[in-house]
Amino acid sequence: TAEWGAPAPSAPEPPRKRRANGLVAAVAVAALVAGGIGGALGFWAADSSDGSSSNSTTVAASNSPKDFKRAAGTVAGVAAQALPSVVTIDAQSGDGEGGTGTGFVYDKEGHILTNNHVVASAADSGQLTATFSDGKKYGAEVVGRAQGYDVAVLKLKNAPDGLTPLPLGDSDKVAVGDSTIAIGAPFGLSNTVTTGIISAKDRPVASGDGSSNKNSYMSALQTDASINPGNSGGPLLDAGGAVIGINSAIQSTSGGGVGQSQAGSIGLGFAIPVNQAKNVAEQLIKTGQPVYPVIGATVTMEEKTGGAVISDQGAGGTPAVTPNGPAAQAGLKAGDVITKFDDTVVESGPTLIGEIWTHKPGDKVTITYKRGGKTSTAELTLGERKGDS
């Protein structure tokens, strides 16, 4: 099973379901258990009625109005409002493999926001289908995707009128302890709603899909709302129903229950902050390709280095510090250890990248670094890189 997502140092698993035998087996087990209970209850009813037919009692069912509504702000109220704007994404690749993830309506034109890893296998030569909570299905195509951010935008084919985009919150104003609501399709179980709280903010998460050496990085919102494979790309909502993040990764123990091919939630879920996801989505809708802020230096990915160490050389033997790039102009050199990015402590290369990518090209930042045991600071203006390399 491919692992997806890891707060340094360990690697979480992607909350995306591959259509393996796991769900089928789990459903089969559940059906057998339910059948066994039904059989036992049936036998008990027949046995107890023998010779005692005069002791039966009829209990009237309560009359609950069909249009009974829950108050706005309750979990049920938020779920009822949000569910019609959440879709289950079925991705069929060109070679017949399939997977299930989640997405949500981004605008009235029919754009759907989701994770890149949900749609990557079908982006070039596959088929994508979005199913709404009322069962209506629509074909979809990729508008743009950002592997590094793990964000993708789809466009519904023949999008219906009257789409209701989910309102976007402000992930910068989220506080630890705030209530959260996650909606998705864990293990293919569409329209599943779970609740929790924000457990932590700015959690460095490096993720990979197991099929390539390319990773995604985020400074994530951590939540204990139950998130499992299939939740990927779905919205993480606040108590008012506004999107504060895109559910993207889980930390999970190895193994799993009977019939499961993937491990499940242990209460450690990670979401891309919506402020970052919105910026990426707007860029993808506008140009079809992502834009990344960069410092113009290659850093090592080792953990427990006390910071982000600038490498001796870059990819393909290129200089680790780009000549005349932002880092070079700020005076940084190979071997320097970056320990802070503005006010955020940097513990490793993935932490630094996640923090850089919360900004935009042109932003001015302060870099704290160590060289030869001496700590110094430098002002740096972020450059840009277009597209996934």
Domain locations in the chain as residue ranges: 1-38+72-254+262-285, 291-386
Evaluate whether 2 touches 16 at the Cβ level (below 8 Å): no
The answer to whether residue 376 is catalytic is no
Question: 1-38+72-254+262-285 with 291-386: one CATH topology?
Answer: no
d(CA 383, CA 211): 29
pLDDT at 46 over 90: no
Is it true that domain 1-38+72-254+262-285 has CATH number 2.40.10.120? yes
Angle 51-56-58 from CA coordinates, rounded to 5°: 165
Taking residues 258-277, report their average pLDDT. 80
Q: What percent of the chain has pLDDT over 90?
A: 65
Domain 291-386, CATH class in plain words: mainly beta
Q: Catalytic residue among 117, 219, 248, 252, which?
A: 117
Predicted confidence (pLDDT) per residue in 171-207, tens digit? 999 999 999 999 999 999 999 999 999 999 999 988 7
The answer to whether 269 and 195 have CB atoms below 8 angstroms apart is: no
Token reading at 50: 């023998």
Based on the residue annotation, tell me whether 117 is a catalytic residue of this protein: yes
The residue that leads in pLDDT, 252 or 115, is 115
Q: Which two tokens stand for residue 307?
A: 């910071």
Distance from C-alpha of 293 to C-alpha of 376, rounded to nearest angstrom: 22
Any residues with CB less than 8 A from the CB of 201 and at least 6 apart, and which?
174, 176, 221, 222
Contact between 195 and 227 (Cβ < 8 Å): no
Query: Exactly one of 85, 90, 111, 150 is catalytic; which is it?
Result: 150
pLDDT at position 154 is: 97
Residue of 121, 232, 252, 348 with catalytic role: 232
- In this predicted structure, the answer to whether residue 325 has a pLDDT above a threshold of 90 is yes
For residue 12, what is the DSSP state?
P
DSSP assignments along 81-140, one per residue: HHGGGEEEEEEE-TTS-EEEEEEEE-STT-EEEE-HHHHGGGTTTSEEEEEETTS-EEEE
Residue 52 has pLDDT above 80, yes or no: no
Q: Does the active-site annotation cover 150? A: yes
Higher pLDDT, 210 or 250: 250
